């Protein structure tokens, strides 16, 4: 079947199997930032934004994004021009292995769009569905609060 | 390298992680991010039985499934006993595993493997493999494994290195120093604790995975999520019968390991499927398979008895260990050894020591290396026993530690008596800031104000507890690392290391170590790790070895390159090398002030005069293993009505010598502490009466989420290790050793019951409270 949706600002119109999981479709399209850690919606590594909301792409099938906007980490910033939130993850030491990082950044990007001045507890709540086994979450929370600070200072574009 | 007075340009700074920009941008840097056209999907058929003989196996229907290209099983794969443990040579773990055996030994054991053009076809083929089993009685606890007449799990005649296969004992260690029994009998005060750790999991977020394919010359390439690329090459070559020179192992970025990727599990299967089909093969464990069929921490029961004088100085320590290695003996002996070798030297005042351990087989999942590597299990019992002893003596627990812990210039006979499955190496402690760790940790938690106060808040009672730990920095006589450092024509550097950054930040740390010696910013050193074709040997990322062992190799290579740079500059400037100074990206003469940039030097050596490649390869073999030290303090609240334990605040103060990258070092502590808190409060693999793991998912096996994480404070307490690169020791494992005993001791401080069986679930706490009539 055909689906049409917007992927990181680009229109897509392509063939999918009705049962193809969104995580598989996105990775097939080269969006390798979308990671699979469990396949059961428990770890959050496959988090993407669908119409601006953080969703587990391993629990969705491709036809569910028909007519919607999908954003993966590839749509946020690049190596040479990282988004301030990505920069904050770097500066704060919030990245160890980096496997949960794409999902973490997208989940907290959604948070910061909703709530530009979150408390540490609100940050924890926002990432409670994104498991990290490396950091103890300490520096991830630091990073999100730093990015929020930069946002308040008008340093987000 | 002793710390000198020079101003540091790289070491001690939390520079940007060298692999960080690609990771935050989500670039395709992990194993499975590489698409290989025409790759087959490999899948494994797991055993449904805990213990059974395979009477017959019929794969004809499976092979007829469209798209299936190969089916491997015991009937068509040569039998080569080996161990999946990726360790040095000679391998200390028993050769009790074959790729596909005639017998299965746990639910999830490997029966057959399939390669097919799609995952669906592979799964359909697995369903169509007909296996006739003769089910055998299963051994589901270490106690029953040791019972007379217990079923023998490893009755195969070709296994090697098992301590006593007939009695299901994979490994044994007995180390007496002095006379512990007499020492205990003579002691004024004795205390004991018996603590138990269940099956628990590393749960790295990236599952085990591998790509196997062929290069242009037909050589086999394994791109794999591993901590031990060189051991993968050696082990795969032997198991699949290929010349090691025909195998290249590439380690890309790794999505966490914590020891579970020190095992060679999927690689030989993927290699064999690729060899049989001539096609690339992609294999990845599903999360359920990671739980059941990768590796776990060794479940253990550790009993500690302490004898001390009235002054609290220990006279005797007796430690008795029963370790469950599961169906195979990966790391059975070495983890068992480390229970004693990494704990007993901490309190070196005791003259009489006894360490007695058995690692036994059961028909349960296979245990292996896991951060802490036995020390975690040992410290649980040792540090709870110390808390009991402190109470009996009427001493503050932190004062009891202070009176007993090892100090600079001191040693312990254990260093020499217990090594990694063999004798160890005598060494003295050259750096130790534990006393300062104890002081700072106590202050940060509010120890003096809170201890014994039992502040209540509704049903919640607060308490504080503490523990200490040490670890090592690499394995003496085993670990060896090498580094190649090359200066380019533009004056920048390439650093090639076999060391395996699995998320710890070691690539960055090794670049810092080189940059410091070369007087350049870290971004002038391009790091590449690890590829068995292009990077020199390294035993791998385990045993807290990389900063110390690989770091020393890098420092040596950098020292040699520095000498070569000065030689070239001396010729160019017509000066003696001794009057030249390297720093700030240039060489300057102290005599004349004349200056050459590294770019000018690189250009000259490459193209102009006396042409040569400025480069060096150096190696470092671990002569001693300087321990990092840590003090752990925590505050908990216990709900007397429900038994729920909440960690309110956790402080770890640790001495890793000079922290090369303080932010990364803190990150290691924070992450290790939260894993330890998971062990203490929620993590346990549960089994059905037939030995099937019933919570093999991240929903049912509860690792801490951000909402479960308490306030964790990691404090780096500096010392300087004279044998370490720029004064550094290790930091990656030690943090996991403290939470279990510190939290148990805090629960006791709060409500007066000792929790000695992890995890301390609300049920266990409530039952303990009821049993104590509280």
CATH number belonging to domain B34-136+206-255+261-293:
3.90.1170.50
Residues of B in contact with A19 (CB under 8 A): none
- Of the candidates A72, A79, A141, which has its C-beta nearest B21's C-beta? A79
Query: In the structure encoding, which two tokens stand for residue B738, read together?
Result: 């403290």
Q: What is the pTM of this model?
A: 0.98
Query: Distance between CA atoms of B482 and A39, rounded to whole angstroms?
Result: 39
What local confidence, expressed as pLDDT, does residue B8 receive? 85
Distance from CA of A134 to the nearest CA of B (A): 5
Percentage of chain A exceeding pLDDT 70: 100
**pLDDT per residue as tens digits for the range B94-104:** 999 999 999 99
Phi, psi of A98 (to 5 degrees): 90, 0
The alpha-helical segments, DSSP class H, found in B281-374 are 287-293, 332-341
Residues of B in contact with A147 (CB under 8 A): none
In three-state secondary structure terms, B621 is strand
What local confidence, expressed as pLDDT, does residue A92 receive? 98
What local confidence, expressed as pLDDT, does residue B774 receive? 82
Tell me whether residues A82 and B26 touch, CB distance under 8 A. no
Scan for tokens 């390669």, then name that residue: B115
In three-state secondary structure terms, B620 is strand
- A20 in B contact zone (CB under 8 Å): no
Tell me whether residues A139 and B28 touch, CB distance under 8 A. no
Query: In the structure encoding, which two tokens stand for residue B501, read together?
Result: 């950054």
What local confidence, expressed as pLDDT, does residue B7 receive? 67
Average of per-residue pLDDT values in chain B = 97
Does the pLDDT at position B422 exceed 90?
no
Residues of A in contact with B256 (CB under 8 A): 96-97, 99, 133-134
What local confidence, expressed as pLDDT, does residue B1 receive? 36
Domains belonging to chain A, first-starting first, are: 2-75 (3.10.20.30), 84-152 (1.10.150.120)
Residue B23, by phi and psi: left (phi above 0), alpha (psi -120 to 50) or beta?
alpha
**pLDDT per residue as tens digits for the range B353-410:** 999 999 999 999 999 999 999 999 999 999 999 999 999 999 999 999 999 999 999 9
**pLDDT per residue as tens digits for the range B528-586:** 999 999 999 999 999 999 999 999 999 999 999 999 999 999 999 999 999 999 999 99
Please provide the size of chain A in residues: 157
Tell me the average pLDDT across B749-769: 98
The alpha-helical segments, DSSP class H, found in B621-661 are none
Residues of A in contact with B30 (CB under 8 A): 32, 35, 99
Number of other CB atoms surrounding residue B435 within 10 Å? 16
**pLDDT per residue as tens digits for the range A77-97:** 999 999 999 999 999 999 999
Supply the ipTM of this predicted assembly. 0.99
Tell me whether residues B667 and A96 touch, CB distance under 8 A. yes
Does the pLDDT at position B716 exceed 90?
yes
Q: Report domain extents, chain B.
A: 20-29+479-621, 34-136+206-255+261-293, 300-466+626-771
Do B34-136+206-255+261-293 and B20-29+479-621 have the same topology in CATH? no
Task: Give the closest residue to B478 by CA, choosing from B654, B337, B271.
Answer: B337
Confidence band, pLDDT 50/70/90 cuts, at residue B2: very low
In three-state secondary structure terms, B362 is coil
Out of 3.30.365.10, 3.20.20.70, 3.40.630.30, 3.40.1480.10, the CATH code matching B20-29+479-621 is 3.30.365.10
Confidence band, pLDDT 50/70/90 cuts, at residue B129: very high
Best of A28, A42, A133, A143 to mutate (most B CBs within 10 Å, chain B) = A133
Residues of B in contact with A123 (CB under 8 A): 706
Query: In the structure encoding, which two tokens stand for residue B523, read together?
Result: 């971004």
Number of other CB atoms surrounding residue A41 within 10 Å? 16
Q: How many CB pairs under 8 A join A and B?
A: 169
Query: Distance between CA atoms of B462 and B468, rounded to whole angstroms?
Result: 21
Tell me whether residues B663 and A93 touch, CB distance under 8 A. yes
Does the pLDDT at position B421 exceed 80?
no
Residues 6+ apart with CB under 8 A from B603: B489, B490, B491
Tell me whether residues A82 and B25 touch, CB distance under 8 A. yes
| Residue of chain B nearest A29, judged by CA positions | B35
Task: Give the closest residue to B428 by CA, choosing from B454, B407, B456, B442.
Answer: B407
**pLDDT per residue as tens digits for the range B325-339:** 999 999 999 999 999
Phi, psi of B367 (to 5 degrees): -85, 160
Number of other CB atoms surrounding residue B149 within 10 Å? 5
Query: Distance between CA atoms of A37 and B186, rounded to whole angstroms?
Result: 55
Tell me whether residues A95 and B24 touch, CB distance under 8 A. yes
Task: Give the closest residue to B740 by CA, choosing from B288, B297, B380.
Answer: B380
**pLDDT per residue as tens digits for the range B4-40:** 445 688 999 999 999 999 999 999 999 999 999 999 9
Tell me whether residues A136 and B674 touch, CB distance under 8 A. yes
- A33 in B contact zone (CB under 8 Å): yes
Distance from CA of B332 to the nearest CA of A (A): 25
Residues of B in contact with A37 (CB under 8 A): 205-207, 255, 287, 698
Percentage of chain B exceeding pLDDT 70: 99
Does residue B305 contact residue B184 with C-beta atoms inside 8 Å? Answer: yes
Best of A97, A104, A119, A121 to mutate (most B CBs within 10 Å, chain B) = A97
Tell me whether residues A133 and B666 touch, CB distance under 8 A. no
Q: Helix A138-152 vs helix A84-92: angle between axes, to the nearest 10 degrees?
A: 140
Scan for tokens 């995890």, then name that residue: B759
Tell me the average pLDDT across B478-502: 97
Query: Distance between CA atoms of B481 and B542, rounded to whole angstroms?
Result: 12
Residues of B in contact with A133 (CB under 8 A): 202-205, 256, 258, 671, 675, 703
Query: Distance between CA atoms of B179 and B316, rounded to whole angstroms?
Result: 8
Best of A56, A99, A104, A144 to mutate (most B CBs within 10 Å, chain B) = A99
Distance from CA of B286 to the nearest CA of A (A): 7
Confidence band, pLDDT 50/70/90 cuts, at residue B3: very low
Tell me whether residues A96 and B256 touch, CB distance under 8 A. yes
**pLDDT per residue as tens digits for the range B237-266:** 999 999 999 999 999 999 999 999 999 999
Q: Looking at domain B300-466+626-771, which CATH architecture does it have?
A: 2-Layer Sandwich (3.30)
- Tell me the residues of chain A between 116 and 145 that have a Cβ less than 8 Å away from chain B: 123-125, 127-141
- A51 in B contact zone (CB under 8 Å): no
What local confidence, expressed as pLDDT, does residue B12 receive? 96
Order of strands across the sheet that contains B110-116: B68-73, B110-116, B40-46, B281-284, B209-214, B220-224, B247-250
- Compute the CA torsion angle B321, B326, B329, B332 (nearest 10 deg): -20
What local confidence, expressed as pLDDT, does residue B6 receive? 54
| Residue of chain B nearest A45, judged by CA positions | B205
Percentage of chain B exceeding pLDDT 90: 97
**pLDDT per residue as tens digits for the range A28-87:** 999 999 999 999 999 999 999 999 999 999 999 999 999 999 999 999 999 999 999 999
**pLDDT per residue as tens digits for the range A130-146:** 999 999 999 999 999 99
Tell me whether residues B712 and A136 touch, CB distance under 8 A. yes
Query: Distance between CA atoms of B333 and B331, rounded to whole angstroms?
Result: 6
Please provide the size of chain B in residues: 774
Tell me whether residues A86 and B17 touch, CB distance under 8 A. no
Number of other CB atoms surrounding residue B518 within 10 Å? 26
Largest CA distance in chain A: 47
């Amino acid at each position: 079947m055909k689906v049409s949706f917007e992927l990181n600002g680009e229109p897509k119109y392509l063939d999918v199997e009705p049962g193809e999981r969104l995580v598989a479709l996105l990775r097939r399209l080269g969006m390798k930032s979308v990671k699979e850690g469990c396949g059961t919606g428990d770890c959050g590594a496959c988090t993407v934004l669908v119409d601006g909301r953080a969703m587990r792409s391993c629990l969705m099938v491709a036809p569910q994004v028909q007519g919607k906007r999908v954003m993966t980490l590839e749509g946020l910033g690049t190596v040479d021009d990282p988004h301030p939130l990505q920069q904050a993850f770097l500066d704060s030491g919030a990245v160890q292995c980096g496997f949960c990082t794409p999902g973490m950044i997208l989940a907290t990007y959604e948070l910061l769009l909703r709530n530009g001045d979150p408390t540490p507890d609100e940050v924890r709540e926002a990432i409670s569905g994104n498991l990290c086994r490396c950091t103890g979450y300490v520096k991830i929370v630091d990073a999100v609060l730093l990015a929020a600070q930069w946002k308040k200072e008008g340093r987000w574009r | 390298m002793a710390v000198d007075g020079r101003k540091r340009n790289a070491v001690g700074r939390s520079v940007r992680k060298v692999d960080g920009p690609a990771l935050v941008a989500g670039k395709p840097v992990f194993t499975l991010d590489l698409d290989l056209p025409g790759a087959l999907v490999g899948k494994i058929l797991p055993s449904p039985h805990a213990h059974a003989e395979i009477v017959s196996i019929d794969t004809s229907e499976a092979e007829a499934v469209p798209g299936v290209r190969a089916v491997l099983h015991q009937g068509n794969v040569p039998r080569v006993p080996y161990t999946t443990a990726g360790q040095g040579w000679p391998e200390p773990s028993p050769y009790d595993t074959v790729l596909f055996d005639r017998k299965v030994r746990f639910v999830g054991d490997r029966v057959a493997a399939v390669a097919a053009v799609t995952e669906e076809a592979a799964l359909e083929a697995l369903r169509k493999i007909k296996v006739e089993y003769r089910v055998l009685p299963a051994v589901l606890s270490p106690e029953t494994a040791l019972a007379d007449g217990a079923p023998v799990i490893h009755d195969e005649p070709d296994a090697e290195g098992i301590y006593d296969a007939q009695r299901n004992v994979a490994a044994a260690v007995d180390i007496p120093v002095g006379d512990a029994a007499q020492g205990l009998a003579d002691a004024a005060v004795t205390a004991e604790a018996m603590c138990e750790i269940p099956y628990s999991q590393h749960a790295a977020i990236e599952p085990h995975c591998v790509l196997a394919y062929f290069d242009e010359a037909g050589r086999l390439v394994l791109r794999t999520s591993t901590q031990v690329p060189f051991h993968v090459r050696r082990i795969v070559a032997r198991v699949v019968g290929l010349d090691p020179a025909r195998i290249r192992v590439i380690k890309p970025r790794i999505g966490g390991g914590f020891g579970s990727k020190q095992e060679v599990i999927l690689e030989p299967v993927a290699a064999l499927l690729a060899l049989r089909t001539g096609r690339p093969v992609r294999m990845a464990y599903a999360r359920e398979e990671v739980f059941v069929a990768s590796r776990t921490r060794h479940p253990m029961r550790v009993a500690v008895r302490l004898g001390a004088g009235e002054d609290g100085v220990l006279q005797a320590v007796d430690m008795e260990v029963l370790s469950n290695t599961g169906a195979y003996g990966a790391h059975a002996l070495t983890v068992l050894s480390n229970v004693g070798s990494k704990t007993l030297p901490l309190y070196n005042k005791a003259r009489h020591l006894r360490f007695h351990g058995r690692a036994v087989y059961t028909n349960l999942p296979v245990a292996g290396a896991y951060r802490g590597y036995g020390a975690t299990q040992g410290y649980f019992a040792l540090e709870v026993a110390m808390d009991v002893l402190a109470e009996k003596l009427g001493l503050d627990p932190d004062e009891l530690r202070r009176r007993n812990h090892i100090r600079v210039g001191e040693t312990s006979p254990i260093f020499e008596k217990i090594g990694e499955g063999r004798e160890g190496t005598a060494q003295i402690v050259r750096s130790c800031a534990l006393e300062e760790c104890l002081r700072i940790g106590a202050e940060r938690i509010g120890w003096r104000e809170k201890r014994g106060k039992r502040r209540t808040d509704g049903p919640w009672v607060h308490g504080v507890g503490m523990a200490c730990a040490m670890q090592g920095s690499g394995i003496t006589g085993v670990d060896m690392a090498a580094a190649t450092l090359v200066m380019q024509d533009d004056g920048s550097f390439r650093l090639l290391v076999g060391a395996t950054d699995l998320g710890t930040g070691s690539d960055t740390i090794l670049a810092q170590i080189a940059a410091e010696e070369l007087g350049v910013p870290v971004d002038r050193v391009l790091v590449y790790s690890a590829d068995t074709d292009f990077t020199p040997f390294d035993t791998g990322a385990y045993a807290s070895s990389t900063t110390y062992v690989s770091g020393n190799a890098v420092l040596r290579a950098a020292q040699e390159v520095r000498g070569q740079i000065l030689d070239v500059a001396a010729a160019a400037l017509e000066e003696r090398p001794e009057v030249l100074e390297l720093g700030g990206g240039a060489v300057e003469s102290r005599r004349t002030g004349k200056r050459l940039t590294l770019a000018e030097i690189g250009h000259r050596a490459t193209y102009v005069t006396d042409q040569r490649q400025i480069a060096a390869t150096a190696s470092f073999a671990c002569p001693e293993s300087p321990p990092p030290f840590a003090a752990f303090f925590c505050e908990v609240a216990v709900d007397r009505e429900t038994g729920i334990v909440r960690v309110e605040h956790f402080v770890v103060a640790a001495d890793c010598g000079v922290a090369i990258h303080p932010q990364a070092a803190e990150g290691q502590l924070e992450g290790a502490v939260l894993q330890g808190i998971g062990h203490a409060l929620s993590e346990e693999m549960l089994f059905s009466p037939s030995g099937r793991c019933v919570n093999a998912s991240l929903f049912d096996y509860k690792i801490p989420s951000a909402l479960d994480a308490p306030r964790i404070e990691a404090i780096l307490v500096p010392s300087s290790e004279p044998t370490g690169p720029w004064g550094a020791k290790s930091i990656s494992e030690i943090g996991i050793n403290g939470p279990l005993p510190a939290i148990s001791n805090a629960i006791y401080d709060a409500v007066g019951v000792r929790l000695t069986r992890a995890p301390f679930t609300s049920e266990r706490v409530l039952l303990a409270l009821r049993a104590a009539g509280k």
